[in-house]
Amino acid sequence: MPTKHTGLVPRRHFLKLVVASAFLLGRGKAFARERDDLSSDQFCRLLMERVALSFSGAQIGVVKWYPDTLSAHVVDVGMQIPSAAALDDLARHPVPRGTRLLGITDTDLSYPGRTFVFGEADEKRRVAVISLHRLRGSSPNEALLYQRVFKEASHELGHTYGLGHCVDWRCAMHFSSSVGELDVRGSAFCSSHTHELRHALRND
């Protein structure tokens, strides 16, 4: 989903890990937060290696994003954060020219007219954000969570390259409104979106 908004300046300390054509930006030490799947460097490395293969030749950064400092008007009822506010904050992070930046958070994300969103992207500013909050579902095992995170990461990063939604449920760009739909959705791009992505990468 594409957008814009304001608010949110979290404190961040980054650690850069180079993985193929993708890199991870995370806190300089593991955090002691409960159920923080992203504190595992192995989890992140596996994710980025797979993303790097799907977006061959692209420069993609991943940041563990935390809303450490919130303005009262940013937090929705139910302690959700507007996905657009997260995108605004990510867009302020300096990255190399041509790089896409993906934020991964534990915080539940809201979007106008919807109860929640798994993630959102801003093609113009080349940033995207996904939330683990709903992807965990009823405490899935790590392998299932990894598949869901990869699918959603591919979907939102696809939007940053100008890819729209797809009617083919086997395509990574098919829209999913529940974890059930996400679980049956494919993780690869259909032939049409693969062609579009290659064209976007060549002209990036």
DSSP string, 52-107: HHHTTT--EEEEE----S--GGGSPTTS-EEHHHHHHHHHTS---TT-EEEEEESS
In a domain, 148, yes or no: yes
Examine residue 6 and state whether it is found in any structural domain, yes or no.
Answer: no
Per residue in 167-194, pLDDT (tens digit) is 999 999 999 999 999 999 999 999 999 9
Residues whose CB falls within 8 Å of the CB of residue 17, separated by 6 or more in sequence, listed in order: 23, 24, 26, 41, 44, 45, 48
Q: Is the predicted pLDDT of residue 31 greater than 60, yes or no?
A: no
Return the active site residues: 156
CATH number for the domain that contains residue 124 = 3.40.390.10
Residue 204 included in any domain: no
pLDDT score for 58: 86
The pLDDT of residue 139: 65
Residue 41 has pLDDT above 90, yes or no: no
Q: What pLDDT does 171 receive?
A: 97
Q: Residue 5 falls within a domain, yes or no?
A: no
Is 43 in a helix, a strand, or coil? helix
Give tens-digit pLDDT for 95-141. Answer: 788 889 998 888 899 888 888 999 999 999 999 999 988 998 776 68
Tell me whether strands 60-64 and 100-105 are parallel, antiparallel or unpaired.
parallel
Q: Is pLDDT larger for residue 6 or for residue 128? A: 128
Does residue 132 lie within any of the structural domains? yes
Question: What's the chain's length in residues?
Answer: 204
Ranking 4-8, 69-73, 103-107 by mean pLDDT, the lowest is 4-8
Is residue 144 over pLDDT 60? yes
pTM surpassing 0.85? no
Res 76: pLDDT: 55
Q: Is residue 154 part of a domain?
A: yes
Is residue 152 assigned to a domain?
yes
| Mean pLDDT of all residues belonging to the chain | 77
Give residue 95's domain range.
15-164
Structural domain count of the chain: 1
- Order of strands across the sheet that contains 100-105: 15-19, 22-26, 60-64, 100-105, 127-131, 119-122
Contact indicator for 122, 91 with CB cutoff of 8 Å: yes
**What is the C-alpha to C-alpha distance for residues 131 and 90, in angstroms, rounded to an integer?**
14
* 72 located within any domain: yes
Q: Of all residues in the chain, what percent carry a pLDDT higher than 90?
A: 39
